[in-house]
Structure 1
Amino acid sequence: MKIDILTLFPNMFDGVLQSSILKKAQENHVFSYQTHDFRTYADNKHNKVDDYPYGGGAGMVLMPQPIFAAVASIQQSTEKSPRVILMCPQGERFTQKKAEELAEEEHIIFICGHYEGYDERIREHLVTDEISIGDFVLTGGELGAMVVIDSVVRLLPEGLGNEISAKEDSFSTGLLEHPHYTRPAEFKGYEVPEVLRSGHHGKIEEWRKKESLRRTFLRRPDLLESYVLSKEERAWLEEIKQEEKNQ
């Protein structure tokens, strides 16, 4: 996957994209990225990228020309039209499902804005997606883009080095992930559940599925509204409800 990032602060991305799993993914040619300071695409003497909004109001608005020019320059070097994502608090809320969708793309361009907002013509005539990482406002789109990139890259083949890890993540199955334990078996009097130490793979798998369902029911019951329960899971859910009631 190829990722291009339009930003006024290119150096912000180095610490995140050059570390840990993302660094290894680049070394293994899972993805590549390039940052572009779209200020350099401005066609005015002072490389100005923002201006006052028509009609008045607080703040400055990003002008269309530098961003259109930057995207056009990037597209010249690619045959297939890339996905162009605008990071914006007004956008679609980012989900695991969206990450899985974007992981199928070959080329993605991220536009990271600042100031009061974007000239509306950028939204209407340039981007394919508008994404928000939550119902809050950041000083710019860079942190949001990093979150989306991390979430997408880990889903790419060999992105994690273990494809099963991504498939079993919270939200990937529609439920929250089950609890995890590691050695020692006993720590400060707290023990690892006996079933996990039994070596019985069938029982372990059943325990994990049931605990995944329990965690979802207790922490994110809203997810169960769109999740289709199997007959076995419906029975487990009734057991869980009774167990929690009796505690």
Structure 2
Amino acid sequence: MRIDVLTLFPRMFEGPMGESIIGKARDKELLEINVSNFRDFSDNKHHTVDDYPYGGGAGMLLKVQPIYDNIKAIEAETPDTKKRVILLDPAGKKFDQELAEEFSQEEHLVFICGHYEGYDERIRTLVTDEVSLGDYVLTGGELGAMVMIDATVRLLPEVLGNETSAQTDSHSTGLLEHPQYTRPAEFKGMAVPEVLLNGNHKLIETWRLKESLRRTYTRRPDMLEKFPLTPEMVKLLAAVKKETAAENDTEN
């Protein structure tokens, strides 16, 4: 996969894009990341990239020309790749695991990181997606792009050491992940559930499924509204609800 980032602050990407999973993916040549400063593409002698909005209003808008020319330079360099061009925008679609999985199937992603008050509307004609990290406003799109890149890259084949890790992550399965434990079996009076120590894989899988349902029900019940429950899950969830109600009655 190739990723291009258009930003006014390329140095922000130097650390995060070279460490951990992303750094390993680049070392394995599974991933190429290029960060460009679209100020370098400004045709203004002062290299300005923003201007006042027509009709008046607060703040400055990013001009279309530098971003347009930056994208055209990328297209000229990689004419044979199909590109997904993503505009980081608070008004865009909210980023989630499903979109990360969608992005991971692409061969070439281009992220445009905004700044100032907003964009010249004509910039939107250059993109395929307008995406927001969440319902809040950041100073610029750089941090949002880093999060989206990280969530996407870890889903690429061969990037994670264990190929099943990404498949069983919270949100990838549609449920939150079950509790997990490692050695020691007991620590300061806190013990690992006995079912995980007995070697009965069928019981372990049932326990994990039930605890995954429990965690989703108690923390993110909205996720269950659209999740296709199997008959086994329906039975386990009913038990979880009964146990949770009993615990709440005891506490009260």
After superposition, the C-alpha distances for 1:72-108 in whole angstroms (9 at most, x for unaligned) are: 0001122123110001111100010000000000000
Q: What fraction of aligned residue pairs are identical, expressed as a percent?
A: 60
User: What's the secondary structure of 1:242's corresponding residue?
Assistant: helix
| Per-residue Cα deviation, 1:215-238 (whole angstroms, up to 9, x for no partner) | 000000000111010000000010
Aligned to 1:51: 51
- Cα deviations by residue, 1:127-178 (Å, 9 ceiling, x for unpaired): 0001111100000000000000000000000111211000000111111111
Q: How does 1:102-117 map to 2 (within 5 A)?
A: 102-117=103-118
Distance in 2 of aligned mates of 1:77 and 1:188 = 59
Q: Superposition pairs for residues 96-245 of structure 1, below 5 Å? A: 96-123=97-124, 125-245=125-245
Q: Do the aligned residues in 2 keep the contact of 1:176 with 1:216 (CA within 8 Å)?
A: yes
CA distance in 2, matches of 1:208, 1:28: 34
What is the CA-CA distance between 1:208 and the residue it aligns to? 0.8
Secondary structure of 2:165's counterpart equals helix
Aligned partner of 2:3 in structure 1 is: 3
SS at 1:130 equivalent: strand
Instruction: Give me the whole-angstrom Cα distance separating, in 2, the residues matched to 1:23 and 1:235.
Output: 44
- CA–CA distance in structure 2, aligned partners of residues 11 and 180 of structure 1: 37
Opposite residue 201 of structure 1, the aligned amino acid is: H
SS at match of 1:171: coil
Higher mean C-alpha deviation, range 106-115 or range 22-31:
22-31
Shift of the alpha carbon at 1:4?
Answer: 0.3
**Secondary structure, in 3 states, of the residue corresponding to 2:23?**
helix
The residue that corresponds to 1:65 in the other structure is 65
Tell me if the contact between 1:75 and 1:81 (Cα under 8 Å) persists in the aligned partners: no
TM-score by length of 2: 0.96
For 2:61, give the aligned amino acid: V
8 A contact 1:169–1:177 mirrored in 2? yes
| Matching residue's letter, 1:121 | R
> 1:62 and 1:232 mapped to 2: Cα distance?
54
Q: Which residue of 1 aligns with 2:95?
A: 94
User: 1:155 and 1:179 mapped to 2: Cα distance?
Assistant: 22
Q: 2: distance between equivalents of 1:208 and 1:17?
A: 34
For the Cα contact (< 8 Å) 1:83–1:105, is it kept in 2? Answer: yes
Q: TM-score normalised to the size of structure 1?
A: 0.98
What amino acid maps onto 1:80 in structure 2?
A: T
1:81 aligns with 2:88: no
Gaps (5+ residues) in structure 2?
248-252
